Structure 1
Amino acid sequence: MAPVKVFGPAISVVNIDFKALEHKSPEHLKRNPFGQMPAFQDGDLLLLESRAIGRYILRKYKTKANLPREGNLSEATMVDIGIEMERHQYYRVISPIVYGCLFNPVLDGVPTNQKVVDDSLEKLKKVLEVYEARLSQNTYLGGDFLSFADLSYFPFTYLFHGDTVRIAIRQVPSCEGMVGWARGEALHQEGHRWHCSPPEGISRSFN
């Protein structure tokens, strides 16, 4: 949902109380029939799935950065590949860490299963090796241009930029740069200011 924060219009945010099971309420199920988050409404249009919502926002509110790279078939396809890699490879191994260390303990009071976290961290390191090989050839996932593919890695990674995931990413130099400042450069290209401190170890400044 980073495109909403960075490039989207002013929106109304509806907070959902998970403990009260509001995400399973009939009202929310109209927005997302799976009873999950996020859900997005634009007029009569109801959308679910964060990556699809992000694409919709970037297509509707076109920006000079052209993060989907529409208008160039090969570049747009490379962006799609980067997004699919995030969904099927990166998210698959980082999500048990995020949920185990943050969401489950905070939202549900479920203790962290350290073995699951450690096993997932080892899998993450192997996945990052593939990214390292790819990013050693190009500055960004799609090529020599910043795109929605790079931005899609920001949310979960930034949650742990000072913790175990960040340690793993530091061991992969190209990934350190790709994830750490993708959002900052996107903001810079649109003339915005960075409203939070960049992850430590990132030398670029976009203020």
Structure 2
Amino acid sequence: MTIKLHGLIRSPPALRAMVALFEKDLDFEFVPVEFATREQKTPQFLALNPFGQVPVFEDGDFKLFESRAITKYVAEAYADIGTSLVFKDSKKSAIQTVWMEVEGQKFDPTSTRLTWELHFKQIFGLTTDEAVVTEFEKKLADLLDVYEHRLTESKYLGGDSFTLADLHHMPNMHILMGTRVRSLFDARPRVSEWASDILSRPAWVKVTSMFPK
């Protein structure tokens, strides 16, 4: 059965799902969604995701939306292929889940606001709101202080091996490392080492090779 991922190149949620597929060494078809023509709002696409957003994932007759649900499915359904992205031990799995929740509830809202202000607004010719950037830089700095301490306890956020807890950070972190807030990562040695490690993984290099030149 053919695996398909419907998305938009450079969309962080789509890239989150894509890197999980690459980590699992899975063959898949990437299906570009034409936002310029509002393809995501057509009846055909809404049948796949009623919210009209990307990514959408198909594994034969099985369909999913929401990037973190997709990565979890890929990690568990293809557990014996590629990188093991989850722990089987219940206690290790629980700790990994904690840091997946931290990413979703704390890192993602903060980093998404900063990527919008410092990256995407430039693409769309909009003006950066410096007051918003200052507010969310402080939030990111406080969060990365917690990460710095956590990374004294284990090599990765979820434990001693790379898991979904780390993977989910990659798209927004990649964008932020190309902005002035990179200094917040560089100022924290363990955070800096962790960021460099995960963003140099072959699966992520494959993802970035697909970006338009």
Task: Tell me the percent identity.
Answer: 28
Is the partner of 1:19 in helix, strand or coil? helix
Aligned to 1:77: 94
Aligned to 1:17: 34
The AA in structure 2 aligned to 1:67 is L
Is 1:31 the equivalent of 2:52?
no
How many Å separate the matches in 2 of 1:39 and 1:112?
A: 31
Number of residue pairs matched by the alignment: 190
Does the CA-based 8 Å contact 1:160-1:166 persist in structure 2? yes
Which structure features the higher share of strand residues?
2
How many Å separate the matches in 2 of 1:194 and 1:174?
A: 21
Provide closer, same or farther for how the CA distance between residues 61 and 128 of structure 1 changes in structure 2, counting only shifts above 3 A.
same
Provide closer, same or farther for how the CA distance between residues 74 and 6 of structure 1 changes in structure 2, counting only shifts above 3 A.
same
Unaligned runs of 5+ in 1: 198-207
Is the partner of 2:156 in helix, strand or coil? coil
The aligned runs of 1:94-109 (5 Å cut-off) are 94-106=111-123, 108-109=124-125
The AA in structure 2 aligned to 1:49 is E
TM-score (norm 2): 0.79
How many Å separate the matches in 2 of 1:193 and 1:95?
A: 19
Does the CA-based 8 Å contact 1:150-1:179 persist in structure 2? no
Q: Give 1:146 shift.
A: 2.1
Provide closer, same or farther for how the CA distance between residues 21 and 102 of structure 1 changes in structure 2, counting only shifts above 3 A.
farther
Is 1:148 the equivalent of 2:164?
yes
Of the two structures, which has the highest relative contact order with CA contacts closer than 8 Å and spacing of 6 or more?
2
Cα RMSD, aligned residues only? 2.3
The AA in structure 2 aligned to 1:57 is V
Alignment match of 1:182 (pick from 198, 206, 211): 198
Unaligned runs of 5+ in 2: 1-16, 209-213
The AA in structure 2 aligned to 1:38 is P
